[in-house]
Structure 1
Amino acid sequence: GFGIHRCVGNRLAEMQLRIIWEEIMKRWPDKQIKVLAEPRRVHSSFVKGYEELMVELPKRSH
């Protein structure tokens, strides 16, 4: 949500997502991450977000 009723955990969730993507990009810097399907959204009046995002990560070379 937003305004007076904005979720206090919203900023924490944004920070967690940023950190996750930073770590993924460090591990696969020049590889392509393939999105396998449309993201599945949470269907709720109270939650705006995604429930699932199916991706395929390339194998890392060691």
Structure 2
Amino acid sequence: RRTATADTELEGQQIKAGDKLALWYLSADRDESVFENADQIIVDRANARRHLAFGHGIHRCVGARLAELQVSVLLEEMAKRRMRVNVLGEPERVAACFVHGYRKLPVEISRY
């Protein structure tokens, strides 16, 4: 969330200084200003690769495969050592509109 610092207009909407604003990433590949018949699934759409991911260009998560490999190796090594993670308490969530993650999660590692 942000607070507007000056009066302005955005897409025909008046915004006054002091107004509270939140940005929601909802359209993605259904953005009516970019795609004709945006709510229809058209697999051979000419401009299908123009959708915005996280508000900034085509999303290509170059680290996704590495992250999957790291978790896979971690779980394999823990299983070899007969180790497990035990949750000790309630998680403390990240207070954000867009990220639904954890700030803290108390755990212990034990053997079985």
Deviation of 1:2 (Å): 5.6
Q: Please report the RMSD computed on the Cα atoms of aligned residues, expressed in angstroms.
A: 3.4
Gaps of 5+ in 2: 1-24, 29-51
Gaps of 5+ in 1: none
The structure whose Rg is larger is: 2
User: Among 35, 46, 49, which residue is 2:98 paired with?
Assistant: 46
Once the two structures are superposed, the pairs formed by residues 21-36 of structure 1 within 5 Å of their partners are 21-29=71-79, 30-36=82-88
TM-score, normalised by the number of residues in structure 1: 0.51
TM-score, normalised by the number of residues in structure 2: 0.35
Moved over 4 A (4+): 8-13
Deviation of 1:27 (Å): 2.5
Q: Identity over the aligned pairs, expressed in percent?
A: 25
Greater helix proportion: 1
AA matched with 1:25: L
What is the number of equivalent residue pairs in this alignment?
58
Greater strand proportion: 2
For 1:11 and 1:3, the matched residues in 2 are separated by 23
Q: Give a deviation string over 1:10-52, Cα, whole Å, max 9, x none.
A: 7857x63x44532332232133321111221111123221112
